[in-house]
């Protein structure tokens, strides 16, 4: 049956399998000689490659500001790509959950799962993230198969101590690879799952990670035969803070460099924004929060958001890509600044590849706007202070 599906897909694309020579009518014995699942995998591989050259051509256009492909969202939506989470317990039983909410930014996609029937978290052993593309078959959507690509697998047994932040209802726990778990404060049961995926090779990872797994080879700096002691130079960094509703802050700086004598404890410091020169794009809004919601409840976690960091080298190749939740905390020492009014805050992030230190100025709440209300005779009736335009 799967061979017939594969034959039909190849015929529709006007392709001939020259390696096996089976397109022109193989006998039953030659078909059954293949290992179990061979023709099913070949069929899904063929279907997942439909219009591959077309979407790869669209992804070649890069946004000069963010350094990422410009049409990632359009390509994913045109291919009807979705994402699923599969959790496995100690007995090997697996539960699958479809995405509950999705939103895009210029450098990442924000995925949310807010189911109410999560298995007990203390019984779970692993969490798997799949990219799913439905197969164009003429059958009801509930029975339509989909091509799944395993993007990441995280072991849940063990200690995870990277608590991000919490409110009165939930607390967040970041477990790596862009996956954040939300737990109820009352009882500690799993409430929701947040996944933040960087758009670097996101289409390929969502469709073909199982077929062509990408090895995590170490990235080395380009050799400079003119001045080998100069170190890293010509790098560009783009930082974006966002939540599910809007971009909170964005900043981009090019021509970053690091001399060899500046290397300390294995870190290569790249100063993106210095206090002396500043950056016009680095404005932080006062209301920083991370919205969350399930099928029955919703809320906001204050002073918490998602950070997207992209660093690419002088050859315009991504050097380091980060998507993770971060917490905005008050700085230990307030730095006096006559150029801006507000409170100094810091954002810290660190993983096995590097660390990020951000110092920003969060504006204070502005003074209320005073509206004078007059009656019909022109006499002052009352004074109405308005702090927010929504109060109008």
Q: 361 with 346: CB under 8 angstroms? A: no
Q: How many residues does the chain have?
A: 392
Both tokens of 40, joined, read 């099913």
Return d(Cα 3, Cα 46) in angstroms, integer: 12
Q: 172 with 164: CB under 8 angstroms? A: yes
Q: Which residue has the higher pLDDT, 216 or 380?
A: 380
Question: Mean pLDDT lowest for which of 59-73, 129-143, 310-324?
Answer: 129-143
Return the HEC string of the chain: CHHHHHHHHHHHCCCCCCCCCCCCCCCHHHHHCCCCCHHHHHHHHHHHCCCHHHHHHHHCCECCCCCCECCHHHHHHHCCCEEEEEEEECCCCEEEEECCEEEECCCEEEEEECCCCCCCHHHEEEEEEEEEEECCCCCCHHHCCEEEEEEEEEECCCCCCCEEEECCCEEEEEEECCEEEEEECCCCCEEEEEEEEECCCHHHHHHHCCCCCCCCCCCCCCCCCCCCCCCEEEEEEEEEEECCCCEEEEEEEEEEEECHHHCECCECCCCCCCCCCCCCCCCCCCCCEEEEECCCCEEEEECEEEEEEEEECCCCCEEEEEEEEEECEECCCCCCCCCCCCEEEEEEEECCCCEEEEEEEECCCCCCEEEEEECCCCCEEEEEEECCHHHC
pLDDT band at 351 (very low <50, low <70, confident <90, very high): confident
Q: pLDDT tens across 191-201, in order?
A: 999 999 999 98
Q: 69 with 63: CB under 8 angstroms? A: yes
Could you state, in order of their start, the residue ranges of all structural domains in the chain?
1-48, 60-208, 232-362
Confidence (pLDDT) at 5 = 81
Whether the per-residue pLDDT at 387 is higher than 70: the answer is no
Whether the per-residue pLDDT at 146 is higher than 70: the answer is yes
Q: pLDDT tens across 287-338, in order?
A: 788 888 888 888 888 889 899 999 888 878 888 899 999 988 887 765 555 4
Selection from 171, 187, 179 nearest residue 97 by Cα: 179
Sign of CA dihedral 240, 245, 248, 249: positive
User: If you average pLDDT over residues 364-383, what whole number do you get?
Assistant: 51
Q: Which residue has the higher pLDDT, 342 or 248?
A: 248
What proportion of the chain, given as a percentage, has pLDDT over 70?
67
Confidence (pLDDT) at 390 = 41
Residue 355 neighbours by CB distance under 10 Å: 10
Q: Which residue has the higher pLDDT, 97 or 375?
A: 97
- Characterize 242-269 residue by residue with b for buried, 16 or more Cβ atoms within 10 angstroms of its Cβ, and e for exposed: bbbeeebbbbbbeebebeeeeeeeeebe
What lies within 8 Å, CB to CB, of 119 at 6+ separation is 87, 89, 95, 190
Full-model pTM? 0.74
């Amino acid at each position: 049956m799967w061979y017939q599906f594969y034959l039909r897909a190849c015929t529709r694309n006007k392709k001939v399998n020259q390696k096996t020579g089976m397109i022109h009518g193989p006998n039953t014995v030659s078909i059954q000689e293949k290992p179990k699942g061979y023709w099913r995998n070949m069929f899904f591989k063929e279907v997942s490659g439909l219009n591959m050259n077309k979407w790869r051509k669209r992804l070649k256009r890069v946004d000069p500001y963010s350094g990422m492909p410009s049409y990632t969202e359009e390509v994913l939506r045109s291919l009807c790509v979705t994402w699923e989470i599969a959790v496995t317990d100690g007995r090997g039983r697996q539960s699958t959950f479809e995405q509950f909410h999705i939103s895009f930014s210029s450098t990442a996609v924000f995925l949310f799962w807010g189911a109410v029937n999560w298995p007990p978290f203390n019984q779970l052993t692993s969490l798997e993230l799949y990219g799913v593309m439905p197969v164009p078959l003429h059958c009801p959507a509930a029975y339509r198969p989909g091509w799944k690509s395993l993007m990441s697998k995280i072991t849940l047994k063990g200690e995870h101590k990277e608590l991000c932040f919490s409110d009165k209802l939930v607390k967040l726990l970041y477990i790596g690879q862009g996956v954040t778990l939300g737990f109820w404060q009352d009882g500690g049961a799993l409430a929701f799952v947040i996944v933040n995926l960087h758009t670097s090779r996101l289409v390929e990872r969502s469709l073909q990670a199982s077929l062509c797994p990408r090895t995590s080879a170490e990235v080395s700096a380009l050799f400079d035969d003119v001045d080998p002691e100069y170190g890293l130079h010509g790098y560009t960094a783009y930082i974006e803070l966002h939540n599910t509703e809007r971009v909170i802050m964005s900043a981009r700086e090019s021509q970053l460099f690091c001399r060899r004598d500046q290397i300390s404890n294995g870190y290569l410091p790249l100063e993106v924004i210095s206090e002396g020169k500043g950056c016009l794009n680095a404005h932080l809004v006062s209301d920083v929060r991370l919205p969350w919601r399930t099928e029955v409840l919703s809320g906001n976690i204050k002073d918490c958001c998602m950070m997207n960091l992209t660093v690419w080298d002088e050859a315009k190749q991504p050097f380091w890509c980060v998507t993770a939740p971060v917490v905005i905390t008050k700085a230990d020492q307030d730095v006096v600044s006559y150029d801006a009014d507000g409170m100094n805050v810091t954002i810290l992030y660190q993983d096995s590849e590097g660390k990020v230190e951000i110092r920003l100025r969060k504006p204070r709440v502005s003074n209320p706007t005073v509206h004078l209300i007059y009656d019909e005779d022109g006499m002052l009736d009352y004074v109405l202070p308005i702090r927010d335009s929504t109060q109008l």
